[in-house]
Amino acid sequence: MAQTTEEYGAKDITVLEGLEAVRKRPGMYIGSTGPAGLHHLVYEVVDNSVDEAMAGHATRIDVTLLPDGGCEVVDDGRGIPVDKHPDPKMKGLTAAEVVLTVLHAGGKFGGGGYKVSGGLHGVGISVVNALSRRVEVEIDHGGNRHYMDFENGGKLTTRLSVTGKAPRGRTGTTVRFWPDPTIFEDTNFQARTLLERFQMMAFLNKGLEIRFIDKRPGADRPEPVSFKYAGGIVDFVSHLNASKEALFKRVGYFEQAEATQEVEVAFQWNTGFNSDGLHSFANGIATIEGGMHVEGFRSALTSVVNKYARSSGLLKEKEENLQGEDIREGLTAIISVKLQEPQFEGQTKGKLGNVSMRSLVQKATNEKLGDWFEENPTEARKVVTKSINAARARQAARHAREATRRKSALEGAGMPEKLKDCSSRNPDECELFIVEGDSAGGSAVAARDPRTQAILPIRGKILNVERARLDKMLKNNEIQALISAIGAGVGEEFDVAKIRYDKIILMCDADVDGSHIRTLLLTFFFRQMRDLVEREHVYIAQPPLYSTVVGKEKTYLKDDAAKAAFLEEHPNHKKEFQRLKGLGEMDYDELGDTTMDATKRTLLKVSVEQAAIADEVFSVLMGDDVELRKHFIQQNAKDVRFLDI
């Protein structure tokens, strides 16, 4: 290694004070500076209010998008404490000022402020302050209204002071913030994204009302929207199953509490074939990777159903036990646990690690679900019969599934004939382009980097897996090709660690058929290879819509906004703009420049923030209920951001 004359000493160590670290590396705290990070600011503020509700001190949260681009969150909780903080290091700041300006400061690290809480790191509201150009806070506490404000990334400009009496003895907190446009790519909130999250929070907190109003000029949803569910997670299950045919009418429910932790479970089977309808939460946080509470439920569920199947005679003595995937086929269930000291694995809090919670959930499910089966024999028999049919389908699919498993690298067999594979065997650098049609496939093969880029053309529209069991799927040639090429199995056996490509890139035409094919592919990945989506290995190619010539050089423009910006910069441009309709119509050099060259292309990463919401959307859009699908499209048409007509 070559030596350098540069010295490295104490002078090279940078110390970021206060909230500077957040502004320097915002992605560490909110994930990104794109739309997900922007909306995360709202969630952080609302989560604080939800924690007040979980503690039994708030019943309503009002969220308002302001005309000037800000957001206001109002709750009727206790109000942030306004007395001086006792720690001398805080230099006489009030508790409220500390909460807004100091990372890892809050009332959720011990003591009696909160028994359970979703916000555990104490960075929420201070991060919002750091990433906003202005923040205003009003606190109704002790009969008085207090006010303070901050500017330019969390700088305290107005110290906390009493501005008058709190109206009618009210208590609570109001936070108004305006995201910093120098931090975020776009500061325009999406109403639908927020509404989905608020509805889920209302489901998880029985009786809590969350109201939303969009006061921005030209708002698509100017009327107030209110979520409040007396049935809590029972209503959540009914909502998720609204687009499906329920196996029985009444949603099952049980709960149990021990010491500082509690669990509640709502469940209902439907006639569908998906086995991924189990959604779990801990202190209101979606645990998309599951954890101990899910392990406890799954284990007990399998035991309870097999025990009932044997005792009822539906499962004969010589027949093998039903497997978990058989029993979970068509199951929609919500597991919501609350505990005082949750142990979340990873920054995303995606997996619950408390072993004691597994014991509680397993015990509760064995007892309470066992009682439910005994008390509801008609419904229980339907569940067991469906599980037995699923087991038979699984056994029928066994040989087909084995035929689609990836062969070892030494054998070099088992890949679909039409796959043009890459030469690299390092998955981290490899990409699989799934291309619509043979014509685009030919161009893609010519344009690719053969060392790291593989091409798999698919012909026509693949099977809609929302309406099919695995045994039927595995008879479909295009699905067999996808499973073989990706190489990590399918369904319950899918192992994301075995994927042959780090990026799976969908390359479909920008027309109605292309959109339909893309949706069918995403449905397949979400239902049968969910980890592929949740671990963010799936991407959508974003070919440009226009091309034009500047001098002798061809210039590509991503969309209408890019075209408008180009014309603003080149007001005297006289050349025509060519509308690029299909990937199959591009020459291989055009395809390479615009869609496949990693230094020039634009890819859209497919992610799942809330699996329960995604589950519902896929069921509505790809299921059998035409009227519900029509209603969904009518309700959400105004929220479409990428429409090509």
HSE toward the beta carbon, residue 587, CA cutoff 13 A = 4
Q: What is the mean pLDDT of residues 532-550?
A: 88
pLDDT range class, residue 16, cuts 50, 70, 90: very low
- Selecting among 44, 136, 196, 436, the annotated active-site residue is 436
The Cα–Cα gap between 269 and 597 comes to 46
pLDDT range class, residue 621, cuts 50, 70, 90: low
Contact yes or no for 233/267 (Cβ under 8 A): no
- Residue 315: phi and psi, rounded to 5, are -110, 115
pLDDT over 70 at 7, yes or no = no
Comparison of pLDDT for 254 and 19, the residue scoring more? 254
Which helix H or strand E contains 257, and what residues bound it?
Answer: strand 252-258
pLDDT range class, residue 65, cuts 50, 70, 90: very high
pLDDT over 80 at 397, yes or no = no
The Cα–Cα gap between 80 and 93 comes to 13
* 429 classed as catalytic: no
Q: Where are the beta strands (DSSP E) in 377-444?
A: 431-436
pLDDT tens digits for range 305-317? 999 999 999 998 8
- Selecting among 511, 559, 624, 625, the annotated active-site residue is 511
Comparison of pLDDT for 417 and 355, the residue scoring more? 355
pLDDT over 50 at 6, yes or no = no
- For residue 76, CA distances in Å to 57, 292, 607 come to 8, 34, 34
Neighbouring C-beta atoms of residue 632, cutoff 10 Å: 16
Q: What is the mean pLDDT of residues 336-348?
A: 80
**Phi-psi label, residue 409: left if phi above 0, alpha if psi -120 to 50, beta otherwise:** alpha
Contact yes or no for 29/16 (Cβ under 8 A): no
Tokens of 500: 């042959």
The Cα–Cα gap between 53 and 365 comes to 27
Q: What is the mean pLDDT of residues 418-425?
A: 92
Three-class SS of residue 389? helix
Q: What is the mean pLDDT of residues 594-615?
A: 77
Which helix H or strand E contains 204, and what residues bound it?
Answer: helix 191-204
pLDDT over 70 at 193, yes or no = yes
pLDDT over 90 at 216, yes or no = yes
- Strands 252-258 and 261-269 turn out to be antiparallel
pLDDT range class, residue 24, cuts 50, 70, 90: confident
Question: So what's the pLDDT on residue 640?
Answer: 46
HSE toward the beta carbon, residue 234, CA cutoff 13 A = 12
pLDDT over 50 at 602, yes or no = yes
pLDDT tens digits for range 441-481? 788 898 899 999 999 998 877 787 777 777 788 888 888 89
* 436 classed as catalytic: yes
The Cα–Cα gap between 271 and 288 comes to 24
Comparison of pLDDT for 601 and 292, the residue scoring more? 292
pLDDT range class, residue 623, cuts 50, 70, 90: low
Q: What is the mean pLDDT of residues 544-551?
A: 86
* 509 classed as catalytic: yes
Question: So what's the pLDDT on residue 642?
Answer: 41
- Strands 209-214 and 172-179 turn out to be unpaired
Whose tokens are 């009332």? That residue is 107
The Cα–Cα gap between 473 and 481 comes to 11
139 beta partners: 146, 173
Calculate what percentage of the chain has a pLDDT beyond 90. 44
* 276 classed as catalytic: no
pLDDT over 50 at 8, yes or no = no
Question: So what's the pLDDT on residue 77?
Answer: 93
Q: How many residues does the chain have?
A: 645
Domains of the chain: 20-227 (3.30.565.10), 233-401 (3.30.230.10), 407-543+604-608 (3.40.50.670)
The Cα–Cα gap between 180 and 186 comes to 9
Question: So what's the pLDDT on residue 95?
Answer: 87
Strand order in the sheet with 503-507: 453-458, 431-436, 503-507, 538-541, 603-605
- Selecting among 325, 379, 478, 509, the annotated active-site residue is 509
Neighbouring C-beta atoms of residue 70, cutoff 10 Å: 21
- Selecting among 149, 513, 531, 624, the annotated active-site residue is 513
The Cα–Cα gap between 448 and 549 comes to 24
DSSP string, 320-340: PPPPHHHHTTTEEEEEEEEES
Which helix H or strand E contains 612, and what residues bound it?
Answer: helix 611-622
pLDDT tens digits for range 228-265? 999 999 999 999 988 888 999 999 999 999 988 999 99
Q: What is the mean pLDDT of residues 54-73?
A: 95
